[in-house]
Amino acid sequence: MGKVKATERVRTIEYAIRDVIVYAKQVAKTGKKIYYLNIGDPVAFDFDTPPHIKQALIDAVKEGANAYSASEGLPELRQAVAEKEKKINRVTISPDDVIITTGISEGIQMIMAALIYSGDEILLPGPTYPPYISYARFFGGRPVTYETVEAESWQPNVEDLRKKITKKTRGIVVINPNNPSGALYEEKIVRQIVDLAGEYDLPVLSDEIYDQIVFEKKFTSTATLSTDVPVIGLNGFSKAYLMTGWRLGYVYFHDQNGELEEVKQCVEKEARIRLCANTPIQKAGVAALNGPQDHVKETVKKLRQRRDYAWKRLNEIEGISCAKPEGAFYVFPKIEGVGSKWKTDMDFVLDLLRETGVLFVHGSGFDPLYGAGHVRGVILPPIETLEQALDRIEFFMKKKLK
pLDDT < 70 positions in the chain: 1, 13-18
pLDDT at residue 360, as a whole number: 93
Within the chain, what is the greatest distance between any pair of CA atoms? 65
Query: What pLDDT is attached to residue 1?
Result: 65
Nearest-5° Cα angle at 347, 401 to 127: 100
Give pLDDT, residue 339: 85
Domain ranges of the chain: 8-48+295-401, 51-290
Q: What is the pLDDT of residue 28?
A: 85
Whole-number pLDDT of residue 15? 62
Per-residue confidence (pLDDT) for residue 256, from 0 to 100: 87
Q: 86-89, long-range: CB within 8 Å, 24+ apart, which pairs? A: 88/211, 88/212, 89/208, 89/211, 89/219, 89/221, 89/223, 89/224
Instruction: State how far the Cα of 267 lies from the Cα of 311, in Å rounded to an integer.
Output: 40
Least Cα distance to 237 among 49, 61, 386, 369 occurs for 49
**Contact, 211 vs 217, CB < 8 A?**
no
**CATH code at 51-290:** 3.40.640.10
- pTM of the full predicted structure? 0.92
DSSP for 96-162, written as a single string: GGEEEESHHHHHHHHHHHHHPPTT-EEEEEES--HHHHHHHHHTT-EEEEEEEEGGGTTEE-HHHHH
Q: 368: cis peptide before it, omega within 30°? A: no
In 10 A of CB 130, how many CB atoms?
Answer: 23
Residues 6+ apart with CB under 8 A from 305: 383
- pLDDT reported for residue 4: 81
- Do 348 and 374 form a contact (C-beta atoms < 8 A)? no
Answer for the pair 134, 14: CB distance below 8 angstroms, yes or no: yes
**pLDDT at 18 (0 to 100):** 67
Beta-strand pair 204-207/169-175: parallel
> For position 24, what pLDDT does the model report?
86
| Domain 8-48+295-401, CATH homologous superfamily name and number | Aspartate Aminotransferase, domain 1 (3.90.1150.10)
Q: How far apart are CA 34 and CA 21, in angstroms?
A: 10
pLDDT at 12: 73
In degrees, rounded to 5, the angle at the alpha carbon of residue 344 between the alpha carbons of residues 339 and 349 is 125
| 3-state helix, strand and coil shares in percent for the chain, rounded to the nearest 5 | 45, 15, 40
The pLDDT, as a whole number, for residue 16 is: 61
Strand segments, DSSP code E, in 150-265 are 155-156, 169-175, 204-207, 231-236, 249-254
